[in-house]
Amino acid sequence: MRERNFIIDNLKINFYESDTLNKENALVFLHGWGSESLHLKSIFEKCNDYIAIDLPGFGKSELPKEIYGVNEYAVFLDSFLKKLGIKNPILIGHSFGGSVIIKYIADGGEAKKMILIASAGIRIKTFKKTIYKYFAKLARAFFLFPGLKGKKEKFKKDFYEKIGSDYYNAGPLVESFKKIVATDLRSELNKIETETVLIWGEDDRLTTLDQARLIHNLIKNSKLFIIKNAGHFSFLDKPDEFNKIFFKEVRC
């Protein structure tokens, strides 16, 4: 494995690639929000001809100089592939990385296949989330009382962990995070004709099975695999089951 970097759109971008790289049909890995490419190392280290990118603002890549949403990250992916001369790749995305791939393909990007692992991009309103948001608004007023301000940060941290949101830990990317979670890609999914494989943990609470089934129904040429007793990180929770599916679909 080689670590490399170069400049794209005035940003220093870090990535890892296999020792030898065939730029036709290479595997391109995109990590999830708050993560980095090495989080997927247990998968790509078993492969040939791969690239694993630290998306702008994550890992060793530079922070964007503007507010990036899903569209900007998809444009970045297009620029990255063109600069490196990658053609007809197999795109592999976990969580947020999956939503970037969806947008890239829906906007005309080319790929031989997409592998979406617990992909984000679908926003489903639930009664539970509505109630949580209601109590969050009440809490803002509650913590204005004297003596309670010091407990506000702990409450926020616990609250966002409870609802499975990365908002509290978004740091300098908080405005990007808000822009991203306000984006629903379901209208883009029926534009996609690329062969698609969906791999989901049955117990995923961050991107639920309802979202997986909706993506599966909207992308015509797609297959859905569900891994029992696995959550959002099925490749870590159940590596043997995950690898059996992944390496059947991707010949490394």
Query: 2-123+184-249 adopts what CATH topology?
Result: Rossmann fold (3.40.50)
Question: Which pLDDT score, from 0 to 100, does residue 46 have?
Answer: 94
Question: Which pLDDT score, from 0 to 100, does residue 173 have?
Answer: 86
Question: Which pLDDT score, from 0 to 100, does residue 142 have?
Answer: 43
Map the chain to HEC letters: CEEEEEEECCEEEEEEECCCCCCECCEEEECCCCCCHHHHHHHHCCCCCEEEECCCCCCCCCCCCCCCCHHHHHHHHHHHHHHHCCECCEEEEECHHHHHHHHHHHCCCCCCEEEEECCCCCCCCCHHHHHHHHHHHHHHHHCCCCCCHHHHHHHHHHHHHHCCCCHHHCHHHHHHHHHHHCCCCHHHHCCCCCCEEEEEECCCCCCCHHHHHHHHHHCCCEEEEEECCCCCCHHHHCHHHHHHHHHHHCCC
Question: Which pLDDT score, from 0 to 100, does residue 251 have?
Answer: 76
Question: Which pLDDT score, from 0 to 100, does residue 9 have?
Answer: 86
Cβ neighbours, 10 Å, residue 93: 27
Question: How far apart (Å, rounded) are the C-alpha atoms in residues 210 and 122?
Answer: 10
Residue 15's Cβ-count burial label (10 Å; 0-12, 13-18, 19+) is buried
Q: In the chain, where are the structural domains located?
A: 2-123+184-249, 127-173
Those residues whose C-beta lies under 8 Å from the C-beta of residue 90, and which sit 6 or more positions away, are 25, 26, 27, 28, 111, 112, 113, 114, 115, 250
Question: How far apart (Å, rounded) are the C-alpha atoms in residues 103 and 72?
Answer: 10
pLDDT in tens, 138-175: 444 443 445 544 444 444 444 445 445 444 355 678 89
| Residues linked to residue 201 through DSSP beta bridges, in sequence order | 227
pTM of the model: 0.84
Q: Which amino acid is present at 125?
A: K
Question: Which pLDDT score, from 0 to 100, does residue 169 have?
Answer: 54
Those residues whose C-beta lies under 8 Å from the C-beta of residue 179, and which sit 6 or more positions away, are 67, 68, 69, 70
Q: What mean pLDDT is reported for the chain?
A: 86
